[in-house]
Structure 1
Amino acid sequence: MKRQLYFFLFCKTVHATRSPCPHDAALLFVVLPYSASATAVAAAASTIGKHMSMAQYLVDSCGFDQENATKALKLLKGIQSRQQPDSVLAFLENLLGSKDALVKLFKSDHWFLGYSIKKKIQPNLELLREFEWSTWECHRHRGCSIALFVVHPKKFKMLMEMFRSFEWSEGDCVAAFQKSPNLPARSLKTLQRSMEFLINEVGFASSYVATRPVPLQMSFERRLIPRHRILAALKSRGHCESDYKVATYMRVSETKFVEKYIIVYKDRYPDLSELYATLKHTNASDSVFQ
C-alpha cells in the first residue's frame, strides 16, 4: 500500500513538469526499480556502467530525456536496484500499440500505474469490449481511462447497463465520460434518480443529458430539485424564459442563484424564498434517511 502511495506521489511530480526531473529518479528507483536483467549487468559492471544502465532505463521506459536522465545519476548513489515489474509496462504497451503511446500516457495520465491489472484494469477492459468499445476508445478519452482504472468492474458493468436502460449509445457514453470524467465515481442510485428527474420532470431527451452531463454530478436533493422547482415556479408566472437553461441556473454559485432568481423577485413573489428554503431542507432531510 505504501509503495503504491509513494509511486502516486512520484507520478504527480512528473505530471507537474514537461518531462520527468532528475530529483524524481531516486524515488522512482525505490518504488519502481529497473529490471532483474539490468540488475545483473549492473552488479558485474563498473559504477559508470551501472549509471549508464540506469540512465538508459530512465530514457527508454520512463520518459526522461537524455539530459535529465544524465543529471539524475548523481541522485541514484547508494540506491539498490530491485526487480522492475516489466509485466505492467508490457501490458500497457500492448494495449496502446507502441512504446511512444505508453510514454505519452505516462506523462498525461500517470496515476494509472498505481492500480492492479488483475483486479481492475483487465476486468474493466474486458467489460468495455463487451459493451463494444474499441481499445482505441478505451485509452483515447480521459473519462474512459478513469472508468477503466478506478471503478470496480462490477460497479462499472452495472453503470453501463443503467445508462443503456436510458437508451444511451456507445457515443453517448463516450461523450458523457469525456465531459464529466468523475461520473463513474457517482453512486448508481444517485445517477439513476438524476437521470429520471432530468428526463421525466425537466423534460430533457436522454441524448441531450449525455452531451451535457454536468448536472449528473450535482447534488440531486440540494441542487437539482430545489433549483428546478424555483425555475418552474417562475416560468409558470411568465418569467425566466431566456434563462431557462441548465448551464445558467444549475451551474451558478448558490449566492448568484439566490440573487438572480429569488431576491430579484422578492417584492412580487415573497413566497419564493420560503419555498426554496423548504425544498432544500426537505430534500436534504430525506437524503439522510434513504
Structure 2
Amino acid sequence: MGNPALLGGSIEKQFIPCYNFLKTLVDSDENIARILKRSPRILSCNLKVMEPNVELLGEAGVPESFISYMLIHFPHSVQMKCDKFKRSVDKTIQMGFDPSRMMFIRAVHVLCEISDQAWENKIKVYRRFGLSDTEIVSAFRSHPLCMRLSEEKITRGMEFYVNEMSWSPAIVARSPVALFYNLERRIIPRCRVIKILMDKGFVKEYSTVISFLSMTDPQFLTKFVLNYKNDLPEIMDVIMLDRSRRIIVGSCLK
C-alpha cells in the first residue's frame, strides 16, 4: 500500500522540493534511497525545519561530507524541531567536541534522540558507581553511544567490572565501549580468564578492557589461553567448543 505518511502530501509543493534539497547534499539517488530506507517520512518533512538544522551544522563548522553522512545515517535527527536540534548542537560544542570531526555528528545524533530526563537518569547511574561528571563527559566524548545504553545494561556492566573484577570505574570510563558487549557470552568468561592470569602474575592489570574484549574468539584463545596452557593447565577448563566447532571462551570457570 506504500507509506501512509506520503499519501497526503503534494508532489510539487512537498516531495519534489524535499527531494531536490536532499539531492544537493547527498549527491546520488542511491544515497537518497538509503535515507528513505531509514526514514520513509523524510520527504514529508517540513523544509522549514530541516533546512535550518542543516544550516546550523554548517555554521558550527561541520564539513559538508559529515552533514551528508548525518543525513544518510541519522536522518531522524535532522528532522528534529529546530529548538531541540540547536540545544543538541550547542551542548555538543559545550562538551568540547570538535565540529570538524565525525564524533561531533555522532554526539549530536545521540543528544537529539535522547530526552533530557533520560540523559539525567543515565548520568545518575554512572555517578552511582563513583564516576565524576568530568569522567562521564569524557566517556561520552570517547563513545557517545554509551548514553544510549539502557540503565539496566549500564548498571549490570558496571556492577560486574567494579564489584566482581575490583576495577576502578575510571577504567570503564576510559573504554565505555566495554559496556556494549554481551555480559554473559563475552564479558564474564573473558574477564574470568584474565583474572586468573592476573592472580597468578602472568599478566598485569589492564588499564583498558577493550583490548581483550574486542578480540575475536580465536585471537583471545591464542593469546590468553593457549599461551599459558603449560603453566596453567586448569585454564583449559574454561574452553568450550560448540557444535559448529567455533572456538568459544566459555563461562564454566568457577
Distance in 2, Cα, partners of 1:114 & 1:236:
48
Q: How many positions carry a matched residue from both structures?
A: 220
Q: TM (normalized to structure 2)?
A: 0.62
What is the CA-CA distance between 1:161 and the residue it aligns to?
A: 2.4
Q: Counterpart in 2 of 1:107?
A: 68
Q: Counterpart in 2 of 1:239?
A: 202
Distance in 1, Cα, partners of 2:129 & 2:206:
27
Distance in 2, Cα, partners of 1:99 & 1:246:
34
Unaligned stretches of 5+ residues in structure 1: 6-28, 36-53, 69-80, 284-290
Are 1:87 and 2:60 matched, yes or no?
Answer: no
> What's the CA shift string for 1:179-202, capped at 9, x where partnerless?
324323333212112122222333
What is the CA-CA distance between 1:218 and the residue it aligns to?
A: 1.7
Q: 3-state DSSP class of the match of 2:17?
A: coil
Are 1:98 and 2:59 matched, yes or no?
Answer: yes
Q: 1:33 to 1:163 in 2, by over 3 A?
A: farther
Match of 1:186 among 141, 149, 157: 149
Q: Which has the larger radius of gyration?
A: 1
Distance in 2, Cα, partners of 1:156 & 1:105:
25
RMSD: 4.6
Distance in 2, Cα, partners of 1:3 & 1:121:
27
1:182-261 matched pairs, under 5 angstroms:
182-241=145-204, 246-261=209-224
8 Å Cα contact 1:142/1:178 also seen in 2: no
8 Å Cα contact 2:107/2:144 also seen in 1: yes
What is the CA-CA distance between 1:212 and the residue it aligns to?
A: 2.0
1:25-174 matched pairs, under 5 angstroms:
33-34=16-17, 62-63=24-25, 85-91=47-53, 93=55, 96=57, 98=59, 101=62, 103=64, 106-110=67-71, 111-115=73-77, 116-118=79-81, 122=84, 125=87, 133=91, 136-137=94-95, 140=99, 141-151=104-114, 154-174=117-137
Distance in 2, Cα, partners of 1:190 & 1:182:
13
Distance in 1, Cα, partners of 2:117 & 2:15:
29
What is the CA-CA distance between 1:254 and the residue it aligns to?
A: 0.9
> Which amino acid is 2:70 matched to?
D
Q: 1:64 to 1:274 in 2, by over 3 A?
A: closer
8 Å Cα contact 1:147/1:156 also seen in 2: no
Distance in 1, Cα, partners of 2:96 & 2:4:
27
Q: 1:272 to 1:282 in 2, by over 3 A?
A: closer
> What's the CA shift string for 1:12-71, capped at 9, x where partnerless?
xxxxxxxxxxxxxxxxx9985438xxxxxxxxxxxxxxxxxx98x789xx4489xx9xxx
Q: Counterpart in 2 of 1:15?
A: none
What is the CA-CA distance between 1:252 and the residue it aligns to?
A: 1.8
What is the CA-CA distance between 1:153 and the residue it aligns to?
A: 5.3
> Which amino acid is 1:187 matched to?
S
> What's the CA shift string for 1:266-287, capped at 9, x where partnerless?
344332222354983569xxxx
% same residue: 20
Distance in 2, Cα, partners of 1:160 & 1:34:
41
